[in-house]
């Protein structure tokens, strides 16, 4: 899956499931949209379904530092690259 395809899926989830209005790629999820840790865990689960694999505990812990949609895209891209080595 390309970065753009994944971005479209993440944006759709944020709009449909979390009721974001016009999310920007550099919006701070917490400050701009009221995203909290429960939302982050739920989003991680949805990302795992999209990708077809589960994150390790360490990967999940690193995800807690994510602040923007671009951070999500970079994070998933890095995980995918590390798993194909």
pLDDT tens by residue, 48-59? 999 999 999 999
pLDDT digit string (tens) for 16-56?
999 999 999 999 999 999 999 899 999 999 999 999 999 99
- DSSP letter string, 29-66: HHHHH---HHHHHHHHHHHHHHHTSPPPHHHHHHHTT-
**Cβ-proximal residues to 77 (8 Å cutoff; 6+ apart), any chain:** 3
Q: What is the CATH number of the domain that holds 16?
A: 1.10.1200.10
**Cβ-proximal residues to 84 (8 Å cutoff; 6+ apart), any chain:** none
Q: Please check whether residue 69 is in contact with residue 10, taking contact to mean a CB–CB distance below 8 angstroms.
A: yes
Instruction: State which residues form the domain around 10.
Output: 3-83
Q: How distant is the alpha carbon of residue 59 from its chain centre?
A: 12
Domains in the chain: how many in total? 1
pTM of the model: 0.89
């Amino acid at each position: 899956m390309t970065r753009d395809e994944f971005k479209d899926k993440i944006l759709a989830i944020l709009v449909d499931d979390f009721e974001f209005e016009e999310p920007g790629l550099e919006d701070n999820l917490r400050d701009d949209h009221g995203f909290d840790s429960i939302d982050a865990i739920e989003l991680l689960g949805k990302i795992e379904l999209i990708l077809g694999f589960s994150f390790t505990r360490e990967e999940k812990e690193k995800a807690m530092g994510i602040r923007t949609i671009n951070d999500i895209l970079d994070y998933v891209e890095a995980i995918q690259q590390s798993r194909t080595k």
